[in-house]
Amino acid sequence: MRRLIVAALLACIALTGALSAQGAEDASPDDTARFLAGMQPTRESPLAPLTRDPGWQQHAKLLDDAWKRLDERQLSNIRAWTSKHLTAPRQVLFYMFSGPDFLYANAFFPSAATYVLSGLEPVGRIPDVTQLPPRSLSSALKQLEASLKNVLSLSYFITMDMDSKLRQSRLNGTLPVLYVFLARSGQTIREVSYVALGEDGTVQPVTVSGTARAVKIVFSGSDGRVQTLYYFNTDLSNKGVRSSAFLKFCAQLGAGDSFVKSASYLLHGGDFSDVRDFLLNHSAAILQDDTGVPVSQFKPEQWQLQPFGTYSSPIAMFRGNYQSKLRGLYQKGNPIPIDFGVGYKWRVNQSNLLRAVKKDAEAAGP
Q: At what angle do helices 175-184 and 29-36 cross, to 10 degrees?
A: 80
Is residue 60 classed exposed, middle or buried when 0-12, 13-18 and 19+ CB atoms within 10 A define those classes?
A: middle
Q: How many domains does the chain have?
A: 1
Compute the distance between CA of residue 248 and CA of residue 243 in angstroms, rounded to an integer: 11
- 278 found inside a domain: no
- 359 found inside a domain: no
3-state secondary structure of 352: strand
- 284 found inside a domain: no
Compute the distance between CA of residue 142 and CA of residue 58 in angstroms, rounded to an integer: 10
- 330 found inside a domain: no
Please state whether 233 falls in left (phi above 0), alpha (psi between -120 and 50) or beta.
Answer: beta
- pLDDT (tens place) for every residue of the chain, 366 residues total: 444 333 343 344 344 434 333 343 689 999 999 999 999 999 999 999 999 999 999 999 999 999 998 998 889 999 999 999 999 999 999 999 999 999 999 999 999 999 999 999 999 989 999 888 878 888 899 888 888 877 676 555 454 445 555 555 668 889 999 999 999 999 999 999 999 999 999 999 987 666 789 999 999 999 999 999 999 999 999 999 999 999 999 999 999 999 999 999 999 999 999 999 999 999 999 999 999 999 999 999 999 999 999 999 999 999 999 999 999 999 998 899 999 999 898 788 899 999 999 998 644 444
**Sheet with strand 303-309: strands edge to edge:** 203-205, 188-197, 214-220, 226-233, 114-119, 92-95, 256-260, 283-288, 352-358, 303-309
- 287 found inside a domain: no
What residues are paired with 256 via a beta bridge?
Answer: 283
The closest alpha carbon to 357, from 272, 268, 256, 261, belongs to 256
Q: Which structural domain, as residue segments, surrounds residue 12?
A: 2-253
Whole-prediction pTM value? 0.89
What per-residue confidence (pLDDT) applies to 146?
85
| Nearest-5° Cα angle at 351, 348 to 356 | 135
List % helix, strand, coil for the chain (3-state, nearest 5): 45, 15, 35
What per-residue confidence (pLDDT) applies to 349?
84
Strands (E), 29-113: 92-95
Which is it for the CA torsion 353, 356, 357, 363, positive or negative? negative
- 361 found inside a domain: no
Query: What torsion, rounded to 10 degrees, do the Cα atoms 124, 139, 60, 221 define?
Result: 0
- 175 found inside a domain: yes
The closest alpha carbon to 342, from 331, 333, 353, belongs to 353
Q: Are 179 and 29 in contact (CB under 8 A)?
A: yes
What per-residue confidence (pLDDT) applies to 360?
83
